[in-house]
Structure 1
Amino acid sequence: MKHRTFLLASALPLALATAVSAQTDITVALQLEPPHLDPTSAAAGAIDSVLYSNVFEGLTRFASDGAVIPGLAKSWDISDDGLTYTFMLNDGVTFHDGSTMDGEDVKFSLDRARAEDSVNAQKALFAGISDVSVMDPMTVKVTLSEPNGNFIFNMAWGDAVIVAPESIDDIKTTPIGTGAFKFTNWVQGDKIELTRNDAYWGTPAVLNDVTFKFISDPTAAMSAVMAEDVDVFAGFPTPEALPQFEADPRFQVIVGNSEGETILSTNNKMPPLDNVKVRQAIAHAIDRQAIIDGAMFGLGTPIGTHFAPHHPDYVDLTGSSNYDPAKAKQLLAEAGFPDGFTTTLKLPPPSYARRGGEIIAAQLRSVGIQTEISNLEWAQWLEQVFRGKDFGLTIVSHTEPFDIGIYARPDYYFQYDNPEFQQIMETLNKATKPAERSALLATAQKMISADYVNGYLFQLAFPTVAKAGVQGLWENAPTQATDLTAVSWSD
């Protein structure tokens, strides 16, 4: 007996049925430019911001409300023991180079992601796969070494998109996927251009041409939108200007939630940050609301652990790291640092990091902790901090959905190694009963909060400013994506 899971094609995003204007091109601005264009070999969410769903697709995908819906797989069976997933693929799917997408491409993609030499930034998503077998061109069987209640969810990540072996050598500069748009051009430092895929297997896009413009400077972002040089700015980096746009009938302002836990990431293996009392002192030296007000102009929800407040299993632990500079100084003295210490604070480009970094540096300085600030470009941050682990502190928003499992990876860049936490995550992967999963998630949240692994700051809001005629944009950001497959212009 098998459990049959089937989702109708009507669950897929459709173009809105309102009157659509003759305009079929759009220019979308983003603050961060991708370091390259392979979502399966980098941690940079900026890649998914351009390519997720637009160019690349996985077996499943995230909808605008965060639900997991069919992607290249139209349905799947799960065996009673939870170890075998049989995916039925959609017919007539082709890559942008005209080649057929079939079971062999799925096998190649999953085997590549889980290989010993894999450079996939989320390799842990695939670690439980013991075998991938092609039953026929449209049917793939994936066998797990143990049950994993998150497997269908995991397959929706941008790191799990399906790629073809024929195009893998040039994927970083010439991405070839199966999505509703095809990659056409990348002018590094300026823009990426996409065009409509007329051979798309699913509901076709309304737009013909898409240009992603990269504007890192907040002042330039403000000017570009106000001058109408861009049609949309997703993740608008100047929140203090939102009231001005709200009052201007030329524009619409959309402020949604994101999955971005913004944290003061801490190198748990670097002295003196390897001392839990030092990390606790840092947590109590931070005034979250001052950071939200000063860096984000009030946009953001305080968090006390690495979990989204809008998730039903969220536990409010902000009280365990409340702002208390006197306590921070006491903890530093108890840890053997009555006069404080000096460490590095390496900041990537986003406004929340650069602005927030200055505020946090001042707050830490007031309790005796000096920080040597370095402003890094995104590629530098990935090389020095994420891969090289050459940092004391950094600020980054983790925009991947439901990603508390990264704390079970000792080699992850903040290097938290707690076997008890790892066991909780292992048990969670096998758990299927909602009450059991909720209890495990509560325990996990409390554990990393009590260990003060990182300084938990706020959940990143996702503001978008767009011209009034644009419709079909995502309000919330359940994953880091700018899905334009259902976007159009109204009359």
Structure 2
Amino acid sequence: MAGLTPKRALLAALAAAGLLLSNCGKQSEGVARVAAIGPMPKLVETVVAPLSPGDALVRQTMAQGLVRFDERGQVVPGLAERWNVSDDGLSYIFRLQTGEWPDGRKIRADDVARILSRQLRPSSTNPLKDTLGAVGEIVAMTDRVIEIRLLAPRPNLLQLLAQPEFGLVRASVGTGPFLIPAPEDAAAFPADEEAKGALLLAHRIRIPDAEDPVERVRISGGNAKALAAAFADGKLDLVVGGTVDDLPTALAQKMPRGALRFDPVAGLFGLMPTKRNDALQEVEVRRLLSRALDRAGLVGGLRVGGLVPRATLLQAGLEGIGSPAQPSWLDQPATERRTALVSEARRLFGSTERPTLRIALPNGPGGKYLLARLAYDWAPIGIKVERAPSEASADLVWIDEVAPSASPAWFLRRFRCGIAPICVEESEALLAQARSTLFAEQRAALFLEAAEQMDREQLFIPIAAPIRWSLVSGRAPGFAENQFARHTLVGLANERFSDGR
């Protein structure tokens, strides 16, 4: 509302609120029907493993952190109503909203500090704990003020704190924005067949001097095929949590135009070699496998607009690194590379029998597509593939993970010694320096040097960015694609309620 006086701005806001109430009273009595692919979603109190799409959705919906994501993946206030960052970037001070836990206990800064600090203890198994390695201390300054003190600047700290893994849960309950509905709100949920076993939640929107509208959602789980069919039949307003494994299911289902939506995420999407096969201990063999892949053909078969093949661990758009240079052969058609690849395979293996590689892949139709593509691309160099029954028995493991922030650190630290089966010891010192340096330019330079080492040793065989898709109906105008594939349910059924609008 630039250019408006405070009084006019307030009048405009109240006028907008009035429009909301007059235009969507009918909607506020309805329920947004949301489903996540996978088991029935639940509120996970202590995060000890990567969250399923449904559990992540519920946690960010019922247990916001100090900050949270809006529909476009931008950081907005959560439990903290505002925050300040020191000039040197080493101190983040958050002022908490006034409020209570659902049991009536006042929300205090010392409780919040204790909950967050517990996530960072050495004993914590939170999968994102390592991303907050620069956090030195979390302290309560007053009842409503909390400070996070850093050992080195982290411009992406707020993005990490907004992830559902750092949502605030106490005694199995969170602070919203959606909560288990009060009895007067629960009565508004229709008791239909689809609601059985689903999680029913309500969010009361506070509007000064007006009746508070209530958003209601019903969250369920299920397999991709059943949810896609239910969506096509108009029984669901939103389906989230789609990956490459169930993408063929969505593509095969007849959908309304524009219903299938893809998030522009960054992350890891490719193969990680293990130590189970002797041939893969040779860096030249790992490089051969990477060059033999027809990434353009594989990506084209997935039918995802804007998905770009890549052969580097880091991808374009990450903080401070620009666009990593791709190897010159990446743009060369696979058929033109094949003769040289066959000769290289003959040199490496000679007359010995070529290995059969066991690959741990998802079990759905997308996993079958990937296995078939790998078999086709590696057949000319004499490499056969088969599905591994488990990751523990695999020679190569498929990695499909979305980056939790725009920092290159997450990509690189995923392949450090002690974490990845094959690593580069020289990179450890670079990553340690990057974690402690106070200078952004030096940090970026260290990341690039470590990335070059890891790419040279082919610790990972990248394909592209991960695929995350949703099915979105016209009854969910508040939905938007974003870089983290985290989708708020605030304002889902009416975009005027959306965060930050």
When the two structures are superposed, what TM-score results if normalisation uses the length of structure 1? 0.77
2:401 to 390, 398, 413: 398
Q: In the alignment, which residue of structure 1 is the partner of 2:216?
A: 208
Indicate the SS of the match to 2:464. strand
CA RMSD of superposed structures (Å): 3.9
**Which structure 2 residue ranges, 5 or more long, are not aligned?**
1-15, 182-195, 497-501
* Distance (whole Å) between structure 2 residues aligned to residue 286 and residue 308 of structure 1: 18
C-alpha displacement of 1:268: 5.8
- Structure 1 residues 232 and 78, CA gap change in structure 2 (3 angstroms): closer
Q: In the alignment, which residue of structure 1 is the partner of 2:148?
A: 142
Kept in 2: contact 1:307–1:445 (CA 8 A): yes
* Distance (whole Å) between structure 2 residues aligned to residue 268 and residue 16 of structure 1: 64
Q: In the alignment, which residue of structure 2 is the partner of 1:425?
A: 431
Indicate the SS of the match to 1:471. coil
Q: In the alignment, which residue of structure 2 is the partner of 1:380?
A: none
C-alpha displacement of 1:456: 0.9
Higher helix share: 2
Indicate the SS of the match to 1:460. coil
Q: In the alignment, which residue of structure 1 is the partner of 2:13?
A: none
* Distance (whole Å) between structure 1 residues aligned to residue 326 and residue 417 of structure 2: 26
C-alpha displacement of 1:108: 2.2
1:446 to 438, 447, 452: 452
1:264 to 252, 271, 282: 271
Q: Which amino acid aligns with 1:391?
A: A
Q: Which amino acid aligns with 2:324?
A: V
Kept in 2: contact 1:301–1:460 (CA 8 A): no
2:157 is equivalent to residue 160 of structure 1: no
Q: In the alignment, which residue of structure 2 is the partner of 1:62?
A: 69
- Structure 1 residues 408 and 49, CA gap change in structure 2 (3 angstroms): closer
* Distance (whole Å) between structure 2 residues aligned to residue 208 and residue 336 of structure 1: 62
C-alpha displacement of 1:339: 3.3
1:277-296 equivalences in 2 (<5 Å) = 277-296=284-303
Q: Which amino acid aligns with 1:182?
A: L
2:61 is equivalent to residue 40 of structure 1: no
Q: In the alignment, which residue of structure 2 is the partner of 1:245?
A: 255
- Structure 1 residues 445 and 152, CA gap change in structure 2 (3 angstroms): same
* Distance (whole Å) between structure 2 residues aligned to residue 16 and residue 56 of structure 1: 29
For this pair of structures, how many residues does the alignment match? Answer: 447
Q: In the alignment, which residue of structure 2 is the partner of 1:3?
A: none
C-alpha displacement of 1:457: 0.9
2:44 is equivalent to residue 20 of structure 1: no
- Structure 1 residues 63 and 427, CA gap change in structure 2 (3 angstroms): farther
Q: In the alignment, which residue of structure 1 is the partner of 2:179?
A: 182
* Distance (whole Å) between structure 1 residues aligned to residue 466 and residue 204 of structure 2: 36
* Distance (whole Å) between structure 1 residues aligned to residue 143 and residue 223 of structure 2: 43
Kept in 2: contact 1:267–1:415 (CA 8 A): yes
Kept in 2: contact 1:60–1:156 (CA 8 A): yes
Instruction: State the identity as a percent.
Output: 19
Q: Which amino acid aligns with 1:178?
A: T
Q: In the alignment, which residue of structure 2 is the partner of 1:372?
A: 386
C-alpha displacement of 1:320: 5.5
Indicate the SS of the match to 2:24. coil
CA offsets per residue over residues 2-60 of structure 1, 9 Å max, x none? Answer: xxxxxxxxxxxx99977436242122233333797437221235255422531221223
* Distance (whole Å) between structure 1 residues aligned to residue 304 and residue 148 of structure 2: 47
* Distance (whole Å) between structure 1 residues aligned to residue 249 and residue 314 of structure 2: 23
1:318-337 equivalences in 2 (<5 Å) = 319=328, 323=334, 324-336=337-349
Kept in 2: contact 1:86–1:139 (CA 8 A): yes
CA offsets per residue over residues 232-273 of structure 1, 9 Å max, x none? Answer: 2235524874895354xxx74444412343212332675332
CA offsets per residue over residues 286-313 of structure 1, 9 Å max, x none? Answer: 1112212224466622122234445472
Q: Which amino acid aligns with 1:245?
A: M
**Which structure 1 residue ranges, 5 or more long, are not aligned?**
1-13, 168-175, 185-189, 376-383
Higher strand share: 1
Kept in 2: contact 1:206–1:485 (CA 8 A): no
Give the greater-gyration-radius structure (CA).
2
- Structure 1 residues 282 and 112, CA gap change in structure 2 (3 angstroms): same
* Distance (whole Å) between structure 1 residues aligned to residue 495 and residue 112 of structure 2: 38
Kept in 1: contact 2:34–2:218 (CA 8 A): yes
Kept in 2: contact 1:408–1:417 (CA 8 A): no
Indicate the SS of the match to 1:366. helix
Q: In the alignment, which residue of structure 1 is the partner of 2:413?
A: 408
* Distance (whole Å) between structure 1 residues aligned to residue 241 and residue 479 of structure 2: 12
When the two structures are superposed, what TM-score results if normalisation uses the length of structure 2? 0.75
Kept in 1: contact 2:41–2:58 (CA 8 A): no
2:200 is equivalent to residue 194 of structure 1: yes
1:483 to 470, 480, 488: 488
1:319-358 equivalences in 2 (<5 Å) = 319=328, 323=334, 324-336=337-349, 339-349=353-363, 352-358=366-372
* Distance (whole Å) between structure 1 residues aligned to residue 62 and residue 327 of structure 2: 39
Indicate the SS of the match to 1:211. strand
* Distance (whole Å) between structure 2 residues aligned to residue 316 and residue 32 of structure 1: 37
Q: In the alignment, which residue of structure 2 is the partner of 1:110?
A: 116
1:300-311 equivalences in 2 (<5 Å) = 300-311=307-318
Q: Which amino acid aligns with 1:224?
A: A
